[in-house]
Amino acid sequence: MKPVRLLQISALLTIAALALMVWSMLQPTPLPVMLAMTVGQLLGTIAFGLYGLVVVRDLVRAWRARRGEKADA
């Protein structure tokens, strides 16, 4: 999957996570609080994981390119 698409999915997941967290803060009753602390934080973690995946893939690609240039030289 392309990095931009991954980051778009990550951004949407973050929005969903933030929505759950803000809901729990504005209406602190058991259901919103539990959803925010479980589903909300799970979505946020997945979103950040996708962002990390994009960054790591970019770094690996850059590292391979540098290694290729060195080998050519």
Partner 1 sequence: MSITTDPFLILALVTASLSVVVIAWFLVWRPELTRGTKVALLFGIGLLPIATAANGNIAGYHATKQTSFCSSCHVMTPYGNDSRDLHSTSLASRHARNEAFGEENCYTCHADYGMFGTITTKLGGLRHVYEYALNYRTMPIDDFLATIEIRKPFPNSTCIRCHSTYAPGWTKIGDHASAIETLRDGRVSCASEGCHGPAHPFSKAARRQRAAGAGP
Task: Assess 53 for contact with partner 1 (CB under 8 A).
Answer: no
- Considering the complex, what minimum distance in angstroms separates the CB of residue 31 from partner 1? 8
Candidate residues 1, 28, 61, 66; the one interacting with partner 1 per rule CB under 8 A: 28
The span from the CA of 40 to the CA of 45, in Å, is 9
Task: Label residue 50 exposed, middle or buried (CB < 10 Å: 0-12, 13-18, 19+).
Answer: buried
Helices in the chain by DSSP H: which ranges?
A: 3-26, 30-35, 41-72
Which residues would be at the binding site for partner 1 (CB under 8 A)? 3-4, 7-8, 10-12, 14-15, 17-18, 21-22, 24-26, 28-30, 33-34, 36-37, 40-41, 44, 47-48, 51, 54-55, 58
